Amino acid sequence: MRDNPRPVQRLGARNLARSLAPLAALALVAPGPAGAAAEPIVLKFSHVVAVDTPKGQAAELFRRRAAELTQGRVRVDVYPNSTLFKDREEIEALQLGRVQMLAPSLSKFGPLGVTEFEIFDLPYLFDGYDALRRVTQGPVGRALLDKLESKGIVGLAYWDNGFKVFSANRPLRTPEDFRGLRVRVQPSRVLEAQMRALGAVPQVLAFSDVTAALRAGIVDGAENPVSNLWTQRMHEVQRHVTLTEHGYLGYAVIVNRPFWEALPRDVRAALERALAEATAYANRIAREKNEQDLARLRASRTAEVDVPTAAERLALKRALAPVHAEVESRLGGTLLHDVYRAAGYAADAPPARPGPAEGRASTP
């Protein structure tokens, strides 16, 4: 049930997208017959999570502000919860111009051939949100987004979800607890290496299939920020949620390049403004929503919430530290050290050693 065989060949799709999408975009912005009201430009924004999540809410704000700031010249249609496309198909649909905007998690660009984004999957990479921002909002973050251009995609912004927790039918507090478990991961080799370092078996599945796969026992566990776990009701099919906060999950907001470049300049500027507002909003509410959903999870008395002790957390960090060196060559060049430096760590010191503060999506 692998979600994404790799490497994925997309040459046909890309060429087709390049040739068709600008025409489609131009048709949309072309004025109608004299006197007729111009048809709005329709921008389809597809995503895989629930509306009541950081990404879902930010997409809604973008939809509203895009209509206001363009005075109705653009209509954003948001398709949440994989209603239009699942993980595996959505990036290809964007390249083909069947949707114009997406916000896939940073773990989903490997199958497209842009494996560098998998750096964000490294366990215990970020020592909190400040370190993360120094990467995403600096030259390293920009250079990563620019790598998408050759794929017919423009990378516009980073949106947060938060730090991940593990769920299973047992507490996952120490490396030994993971032995032999089949754990769902996103299509990222770094996440696969992370699970193997813990003695678990990684299973790539589309997000929309995870709750059903947990219910059916196809996989034993999963990793998610609490907002995703709660809104997909995974707590109803898992007996334990352990607040490991071992890694980050965030998004790149991306658009079909020919569509974006064919937009009238003033329309594009208005959409950029709407997106800047949505980005600030996403990054403000992400932490809050994860905390709220953790409180709901605790109150629901469904899955039990386990908090690792400092010693258990340290044992997990130690077990996962070798993953950094293991995947360094896959990430290419000096990227790992560039990210360490940008995050504020000594370039040659893996941050996965005991640190003063850890990224926290939630306060246990």
Residues lying near ligand LMR in the complex (CB under 6 A): 48-49, 87, 105, 161, 186, 207, 224, 228
Comparing CB distances to ligand LMR, the nearer of 205 and 316 is 205
The kind and range of the H/E element at 26 are helix 11-29
Sign of dihedral through CA atoms 202, 205, 206, 211? Answer: negative
Q: Which residue has the tokens 């000096």?
A: 334
The whole-angstrom separation of Cα 130 and Cα 27 is 43
Burial grade of 326 (CB within 10 A; 0-12, 13-18, 19 or more): middle
List, in sequence order, every residue forming a beta bridge with 75; answer none if it has no partner. Answer: 42
Least distance in Å: CB of 104 to ligand LMR?
7
Give me the amino acid identity at 297.
Answer: L
Comparing CB distances to ligand LMR, the nearer of 161 and 279 is 161
Comparing CB distances to ligand LMR, the nearer of 209 and 312 is 209
Least distance in Å: CB of 333 to ligand LMR?
26
Least distance in Å: CB of 12 to ligand LMR?
26
Q: Which residue has the tokens 């965030």?
A: 250
The whole-angstrom separation of Cα 209 and Cα 324 is 29
Contact 314, 252 (CB under 8 A): no
Least distance in Å: CB of 177 to ligand LMR?
21
Comparing CB distances to ligand LMR, the nearer of 124 and 207 is 207
Full DSSP string of 10-23: -HHHHHHHHHHHHH
Comparing CB distances to ligand LMR, the nearer of 41 and 222 is 222
Least distance in Å: CB of 200 to ligand LMR?
16
Comparing CB distances to ligand LMR, the nearer of 70 and 232 is 232
Comparing CB distances to ligand LMR, the nearer of 95 and 211 is 211
Contact 73, 41 (CB under 8 A): yes
The whole-angstrom separation of Cα 235 and Cα 227 is 11
Least distance in Å: CB of 186 to ligand LMR?
5
Least distance in Å: CB of 224 to ligand LMR?
6
Short-list 207, 168, 161, 212, CA closest to 186: 207
